[in-house]
Amino acid sequence: MQLIVIFLLPFSVVLAQKACSYDYVKLGNTAYKLERGKVNWWDAARRCMDYGSQLASIDSEEELKEITTYLNQMGFAATEAVWFSGIGIKTGSWVSLATSKIMSFFKWAPNEPNDYGYENCLGIMPTTGTWLMYDLSCFKEYAFLCESNIKPTDGSTQLNVIQ
């Protein structure tokens, strides 16, 4: 078994196994894996890495619509959320864990982001059929969506893409 050491934050080391095969759904040019098991944002990020992928990032209105259509078919309650790759920083900007870059696309719910009670992690929740972005406490537990390119870059991870 091969192990990869990944440094997420100062003094934080995560060991991620290279994945063999996981079921992904193709939406547009990207493959996604939805995990309904509820975990905090940090554990969601680690689990995606275990699969050889990363927490999904939303970069456009089109991508949000594709993801919304998919999530609406999964039967989420209005109070449920799904973790995505985005973490708030002190400047008020949001950084994508997936790209390590400042995020530029947002579709916030009304009165969001509000940083209520140290809400620094990005999640989306259904609002009358449309999923909108919320800043949420990183320690709350929600489902999460992993994202991967359709073709693995290093040949070590084989995705089982469901058409």
Task: Break the chain into its structural domains and give their ranges.
Answer: 20-162
Mean pLDDT, residues 19-35 taken together: 79
pLDDT > 70? residue 70 = yes
pLDDT digits (tens, 9 = 90+) for 97-125: 988 999 999 999 999 999 777 899 999 99
**Torsion angle (degrees, nearest 10) of CA 49, 32, 68, 100:** 40
Residue 107 CA, distance from chain mean position: 15
What's this model's pTM, rounded to 2 decimal places? Answer: 0.79
- CATH code linked to domain 20-162: 3.10.100.10
Residue 51 CA, distance from chain mean position: 13
